Amino acid sequence: MFKSAKNEIHRLFSEIENRFSPDSEDYSSPIVIKLFQRGLKIYYDSNGCFDVTVSPLTIAWGFFNTSYRVPKPQEIKALLKTVGMEKIKIQEGKLSLSPGMKLDWGGIAKGYGIDLASQSLIALGIQKGFVNAGGDLFCWGENPENQPWKIGIKHPRKSGFLGVISISNLGAATTGDYQRFFILNGERHHHVFDPRTGFPAKGKQSVTVVGPETLVCDALSTALFVSKYPDSILQKYPEYGAFIVNSEGKTSRIGKGFVFQPIEQN
């Protein structure tokens, strides 16, 4: 069973990597169309705070090849014409992009892959476990101590953890300004863009979302990170809760409650 599980995980994540890597321009496969449609709903629900069309911004700011730079406002204004999921149509079973548009699945594909992998493992008969892919996860059943799984949330500024959440049969995903960034003239520029302005979103260090689907947690963690009104977004997702660290390091929780034990910070 272990070998089957391992092979299945490898197959699924290889497919995810092939379909959704930055260099891929696969716009016709059913899996891509399905993920686009899921993402489109979250795009509208978040008033554009989550958006898979931000790739031109990612490239312009140098995150694609680590040639980091701060683009001029006129450049950003021009690039914004190529950003916006509502500009993409589905025609003849294929995504139709306008010239200059490019897709960045980074805020949703990982969560999707985790959900698919978890479902496969459960279907194989694995009754308890978690799939943790690069910091987002889904867990089911109980841990070896017959308790809910204890998940440490990374501190956005220090080594160690903010706290521990105790969950089971749920996904969790974090978006943070510490995951990919550069510092220029003393200012941190990170990779989570506000698709409406073209600049890195301000006001938060990290957002962790917990809920039934990791795909949704993944996308919502980005949306809530960008939005000034995360409460109003989460009201549309009553099964999800979020833990937010603002830019001053102050923490807050919104949405559905989950068990969280803070860690004393030294």
Partner 1 sequence: MNRRRFFQIALATPLITPLFLASKNRPNDIDLYLVSNEPQLSLPSLLNELSKSNKTIGKKFSFVRPHPSEEKIKKRLSSKGWNCVPPSEKDHWNFSFHSFVHKISPSFTLVQNGRIRDIRDQNLFLLWKDMNQSQKPSTWLTIASLKKRQRSISKGDTVIVYKDGEKIDRLSLDNDGSRYYNAREGRITINLKGGKAWISESPCRHNICLMSPSISQSGERIICAPNHFFIEIEGPRFIDTVIG
Give the footprint of partner 1 on this chain (CB under 8 A): 6, 10, 63, 65-66, 130, 132, 134-137, 139, 143, 145-156, 158-162, 164, 166, 172-174, 176, 179-181, 206, 208, 251, 253, 259-264
Least gap, CB of 87 to partner 1 (angstroms): 27
Query: Which is nearer to partner 1, 41 or 154 (by Cβ)?
Result: 154
**DSSP three-state, residue 17:** helix
Least gap, CB of 154 to partner 1 (angstroms): 3
Kindly state the DSSP code that residue 193 receives in the 8-state scheme.
B
Least gap, CB of 19 to partner 1 (angstroms): 16
Cβ–Cβ < 8 Å for 226, 190: no
- Lookup: tokens for 183: 């510092």
Query: Which is nearer to partner 1, 116 or 170 (by Cβ)?
Result: 170
Least gap, CB of 226 to partner 1 (angstroms): 17
Cβ–Cβ < 8 Å for 31, 80: no
Cβ–Cβ < 8 Å for 252, 246: yes
**DSSP three-state, residue 32:** helix
Question: If we measure between CA atoms, which residue out of 201, 56, 52, 54 comes closest to residue 112?
Answer: 52
- Output b/e per residue, 231-249; b: 16+ Cβ within 10 A: eebbeebeebbbbbbeeee
Query: Which is nearer to partner 1, 92 or 187 (by Cβ)?
Result: 187
Burial class (CB in 10 A: 0-12, 13-18, 19+), 106: buried
Least gap, CB of 130 to partner 1 (angstroms): 6
Query: Which is nearer to partner 1, 29 or 166 (by Cβ)?
Result: 166
214: CB partners within 8 A, 6+ apart: 110, 111, 112, 114, 115, 118, 136, 137, 138, 171, 172, 173
Least gap, CB of 182 to partner 1 (angstroms): 9
Query: Which is nearer to partner 1, 41 or 256 (by Cβ)?
Result: 256
Query: Which is nearer to partner 1, 89 or 183 (by Cβ)?
Result: 183
